[in-house]
Amino acid sequence: MVNRLLNHFSSAEPLTIHAEGSRVRALPTRTRLAIIDRLKSVADRHGLKVLVCGCKNPDISSGSCHISGRWPPTARSSAGQLGLLRL
C-alpha cells in the first residue's frame, strides 16, 4: 500500500506555500481537486462543510484556512490582543 501511495507523488512538483518561504512536494492539482471533491461529497451527506486551506493549497484555494476557528466580529477587540499577564 505504501508503494501505491508513493506512486502518486512520482509526478509531484514543488509548490510554494505560505509558511516563511517553505515549499512542499504536492500531488498534482487535478489529483488534489478530485480528493477534495470526494471529501465534500461525504461531508455534504453529514451536514458538514469542507474548507480547503489556502496556506497549504495556494494554487486551488485562497484566504485563511481558519485553523483557529471562525470568530464573530464582536469577539474581536479593536484595542488589540490582550496580554497573557497583566502586572
**Mean pLDDT (whole number) for 49-72:** 76
pTM score > 0.75 for this model?
no
Q: Which residue has the higher pLDDT, 58 or 75?
A: 58
47: left (phi over 0), alpha (psi -120 to 50) or beta: left
Q: Which residue has the higher pLDDT, 39 or 57?
A: 39
- Residue 86 scores a pLDDT above 60: no
Query: What value does the mean pLDDT of the chain take?
Result: 78
What pLDDT was estimated at residue 7?
A: 85
What pLDDT was estimated at residue 46?
A: 95
What pLDDT was estimated at residue 84?
A: 65
Q: Where are the beta strands (DSSP E) in 1-87?
A: 13-16, 23-26
